Amino acid sequence: MLKIRQFQPTDMFSVIKLASETLTERYNPSIFNYFYETFSKGFIVAEKAHKIIGFLIGVKINSEKAKILMLAVSELYRKQSIGTGLLNQFLKVTSIENLKRISLEVRTKNKSAIKFYQKYGFKIEEKQKEFYQSGEDAYTMTKDL
């Protein structure tokens, strides 16, 4: 059974491992702890049979804005609405916090992610040149709440 819940410190190793398996950027492990300490409500995991299979990290930028920094789902569990569950949980958090806008960056080449976010009302706002470590461009996408 799938469970979408707030991240707990005991999930740290599993989240770092999943990030390294699914995301192309490389992150210093301490950054995950920093995001948890900064805005723990925005650090959400998807768990199935006591295994972390996805996560979303979102932060509160100010009293009106939030930003999704990472959304990852294990390859074995993609196309099963897990990303949708994580995003919906984050939308609940932003609603409780009375936030007005969410933004995120996505690779311009990542057509499936762009389509996913557009399905939930995100719009491409601008192109960021050489946004990623690899030199790839990103789109900034936003959703007004």
**Domain boundaries, given as residue ranges, for the chain:** 2-144
Q: Could you tell me what percent of the chain has a pLDDT over 90?
A: 94
* Per-residue pLDDT at 79: 92
Q: Does 76 have pLDDT greater than 90?
A: yes
Q: What's the CATH fold of domain 2-144?
A: Aminopeptidase (3.40.630)
* Per-residue pLDDT at 48: 95
pLDDT band at 26 (very low <50, low <70, confident <90, very high): confident
Read off the pLDDT of each residue in 4-27 and give the average, rounded to a whole number.
94
pLDDT band at 24 (very low <50, low <70, confident <90, very high): confident
* Per-residue pLDDT at 19: 96
Read off the pLDDT of each residue in 109-136 and give the average, rounded to a whole number.
95
Three-state secondary structure readout of the chain: CEEEEECCHHHHHHHHHHHHHHCCCCCCCHHHHHHHHHCHHHEEEEEECCEEEEEEEEEECCCCEEEEEEEEECHHHCCCCHHHHHHHHHHHHHHHCCCCEEEEEEECCCHHHHHHHHHCCCEEEEEECCCCCCCCCEEEEEEEC
Q: Does 133 have pLDDT greater than 90?
A: no
